[in-house]
């Protein structure tokens, strides 16, 4: 019988060892949200991530997005999470170079494909495309698109677009103008 008792203790110890990891892997439900709302949110995020993988050409789980507001517009920045992942870095650069060219032409098909809706600000960004500048820059782990305009209506539209991206991608970036 002593070996049976040791087996039970060993089994219990192993269970305790792995219990914290199991709890840590679960998604935390945001305060004020029902279980059903949380499930719907997780489903929407998973679907957006899948569409984003197709639209952007790289695995969303291997990257970090940032959308920052500036006085004259803002930035879209995407980087590979692993500095050694040059494949993802290069795919990011290809995507953001194309985005800067497409947006300058008024083509917002990639965000439409990713989000399955026209993001706020896009109709005005299309209308005022000649007043908006998109500048592509590489950085060590990916790239940045700097977006700027001197037109007040275009800037408002850019900010609406970037705030939407911050919310949808859950980046945690500030939704107010970055201090310079």
Give the tens place of pLDDT for each residue, 84-112.
999 999 999 999 999 999 999 999 987 76
pLDDT per residue over 19-64, tens digit each?
444 333 345 656 776 878 767 666 666 666 666 555 666 687 898 9
Q: Is the dihedral of CA 28, 32, 38, 44 positive or negative?
A: negative
Residue 7 in domain: no
Whether 50 maps to a domain, the answer reads: yes
Is there a domain that residue 12 lies in? no
Minimal CA–CA distance to 99: which of 88, 110, 90, 89?
A: 110
Query: Domain for residue 85, yes or no?
Result: yes
* pTM above threshold 0.75: no
Asked if residue 10 is part of any domain, the answer here is: no
In a domain, 158, yes or no: yes
For residue 116, what pLDDT band results from cuts at 50, 70 and 90?
confident
Tell me if 24 is assigned to some domain.
Answer: no
Signed CA dihedral, 70, 72, 78, 79: sign only: negative
Q: Which domain holds residue 161?
A: 41-168
Backbone angles phi, psi at 139, to 5 degrees: -135, 175
Chain segment 123-180, per-residue pLDDT in tens: 999 999 999 999 999 999 999 999 999 999 999 999 999 999 998 888 899 999 855 5
| Total count of domains within the chain | 1
């Amino acid at each position: 019988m002593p070996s049976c008792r040791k087996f039970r203790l060993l089994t219990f110890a192993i269970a305790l060892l792995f219990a914290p990891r199991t709890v840590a892997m679960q998604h935390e439900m945001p305060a004020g949200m029902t279980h059903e709302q949380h499930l719907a949110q997780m489903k929407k995020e998973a679907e957006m991530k899948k569409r984003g993988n197709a639209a952007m050409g790289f695995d969303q789980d291997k990257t970090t997005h940032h959308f920052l507001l500036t006085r004259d517009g803002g930035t879209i920045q995407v980087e590979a999470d692993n500095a050694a992942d040059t494949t993802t870095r290069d795919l990011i650069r290809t995507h953001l170079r194309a985005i800067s060219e497409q947006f300058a032409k008024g083509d917002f098909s990639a965000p439409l494909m990713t989000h399955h809706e026209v993001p706020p600000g896009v109709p005005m960004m299309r209308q005022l495309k000649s007043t908006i500048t998109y500048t592509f820059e590489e950085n060590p782990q990916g790239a940045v698109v700097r977006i700027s305009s001197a037109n007040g209506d275009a800037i408002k539209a850019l900010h609406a677009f970037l705030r939407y991206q911050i919310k949808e991608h859950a980046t945690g970036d500030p939704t107010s103008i970055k201090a310079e």
